[in-house]
Structures are given as structure tokens and as C-alpha cells.
Structure 1
Amino acid sequence: MDVELQNVIAHFPQVKEIREIESIQSGLINRTYGIVTEGADDYILQCINHLVFTNVELLQHNIECVTEHIRAKLLERGEQDVERKVLRFLPTPEGKTYHFDGAHYWRVCVYIRNSYTQTEVTPDSAYLVGLKFGEFESMLADLPEKLGETIPDFHNMEFRMTQLREAVSLDKAKRRAKVQALIDEIERDADEMCRAERLYREGKLPKRICHCDTKVSNMLFDAEGKVLCIIDLDTVMPSFVFSDFGDFLRTAACTAPEDEPDVAKVHFNMDIFRAFAKGYLESAMSFLTPLEIEMLPYAVRLFPYMQAVRFLTDYLNGDSYYQIQYAEHNYVRTLAQYRLYQEVCKAEPEMCEFIKTQINADFRK
């Protein structure tokens, strides 16, 4: 076995009788390993990417607050098999849920046996994602502890526009002339797309504790296909509910990859929207304000717009942030995301009407 990993695991004394340590390739941010033991529990070991999550103390504080609060909620309502329905991270002898070895940060959580993830998005799975993430937000709506932003300004549209305008001004890669018409189109809608931040400053729109990375693969299922719990909690932080609603649909309801070169293939799948929105509203209606519900279609527009801005910013800066496979990759991504934004705008009246029907159906119960 890897001596370095064994030395790290020794700082989590609950892990005993190790039989095997295996590398797990899924996940793009953290290095992950499975620990198989001779005992009752197996574990997941992760090396936290502290270049992405620069404040590991804050990161783990958020996760501890969230998992403890959810566990208490589950126990309060008499749930069975609670340990399979919320993640549990192990403490070090110092009482922290991470260990710093001088170069890297490590953490260990209990592996939930006989569980699996899904990647395929169907109306059925989209409904379950909406239901579960709405429930996740609902359980955290009364969280007493204050959480911080693990990635500051992650979904702040004003901040993303500031970045774009700086990139346009500097024009480091001398590409501005080529994309000026697209910049002008984006700027025409910028005031409207930054609406959430203005409403927040006016005290009209709250921030909630959100997952900020809603996707099917961030839920664990049991052998019967029932959802056990939400995983990958690194991005859990204060945000608008739009983060969980809009970002899922940006990828799940798009009929093409986010870097599709033929924009004629980029459309918005209303079946996925309806299924996800139905599930989400069923579990989140109890705490959402009328304004939050009214602005859910705005959330669906916001995220392809924001991602187009981010790709365009990187393109103007010379491709310094996103990995690219060819010279114009970020430009192709920008066009695909902007086309999705346009398709979502066309679908907005239908989205608004569907949400009204769901509200009316809930009211009639």
C-alpha cells in the first residue's frame, strides 16, 4: 500500500484494519481514494484541491454545519437508516474534519455501501433531482450557523460582467474585433441579467444555503433506485436558489454538449424542465418567496448567459482559465451557450405558464 496515504490515514484513528486503498477516477477537482477495511465500515479519502478551495477551514466548517443539521432533521422526523442518508466525516484527534500534512489537505468520510450514482438525465431522474435538491434547501432554510462562500462570487453575475469588461478593455489575445458584435449583444441584456444582485441589495431577494452544483451524479441511490442523499458538498454556500435551479437545467435540458460547434443542434428540452421544476416546487414551495418562484424562469436564462460570459472572458484573455482542446474552443463554447440562452428566452412564456399551473395545483390541495 502507498506509504504516504497510510501516513495520512493514521491521522483518522477510526479507520482500522485497512485491506486495500484504491484510486477513484471520477471527479474533476479533488483526488479521491476508496479505503476498504476488514471492519464494518469502508471510507472515502480525499485530497482537497486547495487551489480551488483556498479556505479549507471554511470549507469544512460549511460541510460540518450542513451535515449535522440535516442529520438532526432526519432524526427529528423519525427517518430510518439515517447514516445512509447523510454524509459523515471523521475527526482527527485535534477535533478537525481535515488533516494538513504540510503540503496537502486531506479528509475522510464514511462510504455508504450498496449505493450508486447515475449520470443519465431523463424526465424521471430530473424529477428526482428537483425533489431532492428542493428538500435539501428546505432542510437548511433554518440553519442557525453562518456559512461562508467557498468560492467567492461563484454565481455573481455582476462580478462576471466586471471580468468580461476588463477582458474587453485589455484585449490581451487581440480577439476583441472578432467578437465585438457578440459583446454588444451580451451588453444589451446585462442590466436585466444582473437583476438578482440589485434585488438582494434592496432587501427583496434572500440568499439561501444552496448546493450550487446540482446534477444527477451528485446524488446517491440505493439498489431500488430511491435517492439516499446529496453528495459533493464542497460548493454548499449562501447563494440565490437560482444557482440550484438554473445550473442544473443549463446542462440537463440542453440538447447538445456545451461546446457543440453546430449551434443548430442546441435546443432547450421542455420535458426535462417540466419534470425538474415539478419536483423542485413540490419540496421547496414551503419556504420560497413569491418573488423567488416568479423568477425561476429568469434563473434558467441566467446560467447559459453567465457561462457564455465566462467562456468569452477566457477567450479574450487568451484561454488562461478553462482547458481547451483547440485554438477556438472557448469561442465555440461561447456561441453554444449563447445560443442556449436564446433558446431559453424563447421558452420563457411556456416556463412561466407551467410554474403557474404547479402553484395553482399546490394551492388546490
Structure 2
Amino acid sequence: MTPVNYSAAHIQSIVSQFIIEGNVASVKAHGTGHIHDTFHVVNSTPQQPDYLLQRINHHVFKNIAGLTENIQLVTTHLRKKLEKIPGAAPSQEVLTLIPTKTGQGYYQDESGHYWRIFLFLPGTRSYDVVENAQQAYEGGRGFGKFLALLSDLDATLVHETIPHFHDVESRLSLFNKAISRNPKDRVKEVAAEISFVQERIQKMCTILHMGQRGVLPLRITHNDTKFNNVLLNANDQAQCVIDLDTVMPGYAAYDFGDAIRTIVNTAPEDEEDLSKIAVNMSLFEGFTRGFLSETRPILTANEVDSLAMGALLLPFIMGLRFLTDYIDGDTYYKIHYPEHNIIRARAQFSLVAKLEEQYPLMQQLIQTIASTETQLTAGK
């Protein structure tokens, strides 16, 4: 969805549809997200809050009503759970969706665009790149707490906002169809990458098959656990998990794996020089400690065992998606040059290979940290 320049009067007319306190002083673009158009609505009335206005990308998220129901369900549950925890601040630790004057969670304008408003959380910050193990720990703690607090909410109550999002068999099916179509005659260019995928199919279906057999419980998961989706406070402590659009049924290893994918890589997602790609195990350990500090009481032994495989699976899926899009003629992802998607795919597959080398150590660290957390929990 291409960002649109909106007039102040148009933004004001959108904001006026919602039940907000005070008056609008100014509106400015906010954040680095690529999916929605996001604006910081500054309040001119003293003691009244600022707001975050978003135009929802209804091309990516087609079921706006279901998406909104998910957010309302999850935030209500989180708020009720936090209200029972001494010292918690639910209004600061959970997103607050502001209703329209007709009681809905979103507004559709005359152009067919969908809008929503959240309370703005002042004094928070997010990072696109993890700078140290302590930050990684806080990211793990934030996403882990999110998963743990939702562990007693029935996963079948939430909608699939993007069907088959982390379903590797579905992704492989799309991949094979793209190879069959071969619209740009690119298959011959990517034989090595196709072989990389085919050699790992059985292994990469492990988590999905464990879930299908009931070995892994279906949970409500975030499914987009980039580090910048946790807001930290002024002391760099995890405060609030944001970007709830992909909250769907899933497995704990999905959230763990996607976070590891985006945190431990020493190079950018589209790094062309594969020699620069390595795994920062200090950040891996930091995130794992934070994640298990919150989730160990609710995770089964099988879920703990699946986490290291999740760290392989999520970059594999991401590389598979980039490779599929390259073969298909770059129809999904925005690219900045013709080879961008295949460069991205190679970078992700290189990360998978590096993580495979570290797999025994990752498993050992996870089990050691899980055991320590179990002992700490038992001693409380």
C-alpha cells in the first residue's frame, strides 16, 4: 500500500469519528513500518493523551472485522490478567484501541480505507537492531510474557488474519507452483537455492507435523516477533508488545524462531556478501533467557524441545517466500533492484546454514536455561 499524503483537514475528519479526549494540535508521520500508514496525533489539551492513528492495509489484511475482533479479544484478556498482578500498569503495558462514536473498533472512510486509533504510549522506544544481550533479554521477556498471559485463552477464538502464514507445507506448495509456472524463466538461475529447499523439506515440516499430531499445543501467538515490535521504557525494559495484526493460532516455536531470525543475524536481511552473515550467540542466549523466564511455567517439555527447530524454520520460511517471489516475477515484495528478492533469499538460507551449525549449542543452551527456570519456579 503506497503511503498517501493526507491534508490536515482530512486527518481531522478521520480523528473526529473516534471517541478521543481533548483536541488535535498536530499530526505527524510515525514509525518505520511498511504495512500501514501511521500517524502520531498530538493533543493540544493539557493532561489529555496523544493518540496513534493508522490506516490499515486492507490489501494485506482483508478481514478487517476479524482483525479488529482479535485485537479487542487479546487486549481485553491481557488487561484483565495484568490487573491481578501487583505493580503492573495495564494501561501502559497493553495497547488500548479507541472505539468510534458508533462503538466500532475501526472507521471506513468515503474512499474505502480503514482507520483505527490507539492510545499513544509516551516515553517508550523501539529498536530496529538489537545492540546488546540485555536488550535481547528484554525482547525475550516481552514476547514471552505476551505468550504466557494468553496461554489460558482458547486459540480457536482468534481469526487467521493471514491464512497459512507460517504453514511451511502451504509455503512449499506455493513454491512448487511458482516453479511450474516459471513466468520469467528464472528457475534455471536458482538451481542451488531450489536444492537447498528440497534437501530440508522433511526437517522443516517437523514443528507443523508435531502440532498436527497434538504433540505441540496450539496457542495464541504473535507471529511477527521482530525486536521493534516490543516497546521498551526509558530504562530499556520491555513495556508493551505492539503490532497485533498477526496474532493468530500458532506454536510457541514460531514466536521464538522469528525473534531469533531477526535478532541474532550479524548482517542485514538483504546482505549480498554472505561472508558477513553469522550468528551472534550472545544475543541468542540473552533472548532465550528472557523468553523462558516468562514462558517456562506454561511450556510443555515438547515445546521447549521445539524451540531450536523454530530458530531454523522461520528463516527457512522467509527465504522460501523470497525465493518463491523471485521465481514468480517479484509480485509480492517491494524490491529496489531486479535481484533484490534472490539476494534476500540467499541471505536467509545462509542464516539457516549458520544456525544449523550452531544447532547443538542452541539446544544445549535452551535446555540448560529451561532447567534453571524450572528450579527457580519451584523455589518460589
TM over 0.5: yes
Which residue is equivalent to 2:90?
Answer: 82
Aligned with residue 128 of structure 1, among 100, 115, 138 = 138
Tell me which amino acid in the other structure corresponds to 1:130: G
Which residue is equivalent to 2:332?
Answer: 321
Which residue is equivalent to 1:23?
Answer: 29
Answer yes or no: is 1:255 the counterpart of 2:263: no
Answer yes or no: is 1:199 the counterpart of 2:210: yes
Within 2, Cα distance between the matches of 1:327 and 1:177?
16
Secondary structure, counterpart of 1:22 in structure 2: strand
Tell me if the contact between 1:308 and 1:334 (Cα under 8 Å) persists in the aligned partners. Answer: yes
Within 2, Cα distance between the matches of 1:247 and 1:59?
21
Which residue is equivalent to 1:35?
Answer: 41
Tell me if the contact between 2:297 and 2:374 (Cα under 8 Å) persists in the aligned partners. Answer: no
| Post-superposition CA distance 1:300-356 (Å, at most 9, x none) | 110121111111111111111112222222222221111111111110011111112
Q: CA deviation at 1:259?
A: 1.4
Answer yes or no: is 1:11 the counterpart of 2:17: yes
| Residues 324-343 of structure 1 aligned to structure 2 (within 5 Å) | 324-343=335-354
Q: CA deviation at 1:224?
A: 2.8
Within 1, Cα distance between the matches of 2:375 and 2:79?
32
| Post-superposition CA distance 1:235-285 (Å, at most 9, x none) | 111111122111111121111112111111111111111111111111101
Within 2, Cα distance between the matches of 1:242 and 1:292?
7
Q: CA deviation at 1:120?
A: 3.4
Within 2, Cα distance between the matches of 1:131 and 1:363?
16
Which residue is equivalent to 1:109?
Answer: 118
Answer yes or no: is 1:268 the counterpart of 2:266: no
Tell me if the contact between 1:246 and 1:296 (Cα under 8 Å) persists in the aligned partners. Answer: yes
Cα distance change of structure 1 residues 251 and 363 upon mapping to structure 2, 3 Å threshold: closer
Within 2, Cα distance between the matches of 1:234 and 1:321?
18
Unaligned segments of structure 1, at least 5 residues: none
Tell me which amino acid in the other structure corresponds to 2:37: R
Tell me which amino acid in the other structure corresponds to 1:169: S
More deviation in 159-168 or 91-100?
A: 91-100
| Residues 54-69 of structure 1 aligned to structure 2 (within 5 Å) | 54-69=62-77
Within 2, Cα distance between the matches of 1:308 and 1:35?
37
Tell me which amino acid in the other structure corresponds to 1:52: V
| Residues 118-267 of structure 1 aligned to structure 2 (within 5 Å) | 118-121=127-130, 122-144=132-154, 146-267=157-278
Q: CA deviation at 1:60?
A: 0.7
The TM-score normalised by the length of structure 1 is: 0.96
Q: CA deviation at 1:127?
A: 0.6
Q: CA deviation at 1:192?
A: 1.6
Unaligned segments of structure 2, at least 5 residues: 1-6
Q: CA deviation at 1:114?
A: 2.3
| Post-superposition CA distance 1:24-79 (Å, at most 9, x none) | 25211111111112141111111111111111101111101111111111111233
Q: CA deviation at 1:183?
A: 1.1
More deviation in 99-108 or 7-16?
A: 7-16
Tell me if the contact between 1:9 and 1:15 (Cα under 8 Å) persists in the aligned partners. Answer: no
The TM-score normalised by the length of structure 2 is: 0.92
Tell me if the contact between 2:182 and 2:328 (Cα under 8 Å) persists in the aligned partners. Answer: yes
After the TM superposition, which segments of 4 or more aligned residues of structure 1 sit over 4 Å from their partners? none
Tell me if the contact between 1:150 and 1:237 (Cα under 8 Å) persists in the aligned partners. Answer: yes
Q: CA deviation at 1:210?
A: 1.1
Within 1, Cα distance between the matches of 2:32 and 2:375?
44
Tell me which amino acid in the other structure corresponds to 2:275: A
Tell me which amino acid in the other structure corresponds to 1:112: L
Aligned with residue 349 of structure 1, among 345, 360, 378 = 360
Cα distance change of structure 1 residues 288 and 75 upon mapping to structure 2, 3 Å threshold: same
Within 2, Cα distance between the matches of 1:26 and 1:338?
25
Q: CA deviation at 1:80?
A: 4.4
| Post-superposition CA distance 1:155-197 (Å, at most 9, x none) | 1111110011111111111011222233123112102201222
Tell me if the contact between 2:141 and 2:238 (Cα under 8 Å) persists in the aligned partners. Answer: no
Cα distance change of structure 1 residues 224 and 358 upon mapping to structure 2, 3 Å threshold: closer
